[in-house]
Amino acid sequence: MPMSLQNCSELITIDLGANNLYGMVPPWIGNSLPNLVILNLRSNQLYGRLPLNICLLSHIQILDLSLNKIEGTIPECIYNLTAMSRTMDTNSSAIYVYIMGRGSYIEYASLAWKGREFVFKNSLGLVKMIDLSNNKLHGEIPEGITNLTELIALNLSRNNLSGLITPRIGLLRNLQCLDLSRNQLCGEIPMSISNLNFLSQLDLSANNLSGKIPTGTQIQSLDASAFLENPKLCGSPLPNECLEDLHPNYINNQGHKEENDDDGFITKGFYVAASLGFIVGFWGCVAFQC
């Protein structure tokens, strides 16, 4: 990207997707282009780490850096993309404020998702999305991303992300598309994911997730492919049932067994203590008499 762009401080849209650009994401982008609403650098040859200054883009609503070679971690400060946590409508969004009074010019954006292309025009002010898929990112997904409560799409697939899916994922109540597939995420799927009532596209496949898939109307209505290639994952909509579902009495019996074991231990302990008390008391009385 040419450095001369940093002089265009009033820019609200940069769409340089599907070119052959190389180099790093410019570190000056957050300082010099504070009014950016759309940044699309998808499908280029960008490499290096994401600059921390990207967190200064407080007006950004669409951030697409997918299909590059970006490495490092997702910045912890991502929660500072505050436009993604503010409720707006098509008449009051940042985009429409900027283009007001410019004749018949209509702002629009073409966005790719799961191999399909979507064009947004009148509803563009409502679209808030982050797509960092198909890069070389590693580390954990920062919990602060759940502060961006107006996100409708989050795609972090095809990276090397690890760790747990944060239990706060349910705070992203407006999510319609969530793709965390083909990473190295582990642990159980948080129960709060069943609170995402608008979720229509979910992909958690090809990770190291385990345990039972949370129950919820939205989750069980999804295709099983959303959970495949997680060998330790079980429950609907996957065909492999969980052990507690196949043998519901197993856990109860185990629980009763442990309780009985505890009772036995207490009973034995009682007799041991009583016996010791008797012996100590007996010899105490003998000593007193002497």
d(CA 227, CA 268): 49
Q: What does the pLDDT average to over 65-70?
A: 97
What digits encode the pLDDT tens for the residues 110-164?
566 556 665 555 555 678 999 999 999 999 999 999 999 999 999 999 999 999 9
d(CA 68, CA 136): 8
State the pLDDT confidence band at 108, using cuts at 50, 70 and 90: low
The pLDDT assigned to 205 comes to 97
**Those residues with Cβ within 8 angstroms of residue 132's Cβ, 6 or more apart along the chain or in another chain:** 63, 65, 66, 70, 74, 155, 156, 159
pLDDT exceeds cutoff 60 at 96? no
The pLDDT assigned to 107 comes to 57
The pLDDT assigned to 277 comes to 46
CATH of domain 3-246: 3.80.10.10
In the block, tokens 């400060």 appear at 77
What digits encode the pLDDT tens for the residues 201-255?
999 999 999 999 998 767 888 899 999 999 999 999 999 889 877 766 654 554 4
- Torsional sign, CA 160, 165, 171, 177: positive
State the pLDDT confidence band at 272, using cuts at 50, 70 and 90: very low
The pLDDT assigned to 238 comes to 93
The pLDDT assigned to 2 comes to 87
Strand order in the sheet with 45-49: 22-24, 45-49, 69-72, 136-139, 160-164, 184-188, 208-212, 232-234
d(CA 282, CA 290): 13
237 cis-preceded (ω within 30 degrees of 0): yes
Q: What does the pLDDT average to over 165-186?
A: 96
Domain ranges, ordered by start, for the chain: 3-246, 247-290
**Those residues with Cβ within 8 angstroms of residue 85's Cβ, 6 or more apart along the chain or in another chain:** 79, 147, 148, 149, 150
Q: Are 221 and 194 in contact (CB under 8 A)?
A: no
Share of the chain above pLDDT 90, in %: 63
Dig out the tokens for 84 from the structure.
Answer: 């993604």
What digits encode the pLDDT tens for the residues 6-47?
999 999 999 999 999 999 999 999 999 999 999 999 999 999
Model-wide pTM > 0.85: no
> At 210, is the secondary structure helix, strand, or coil?
strand
In the block, tokens 């650009």 appear at 21
| CA-based max dimension of the chain | 115
d(CA 242, CA 248): 10
What digits encode the pLDDT tens for the residues 78-88?
999 999 998 86
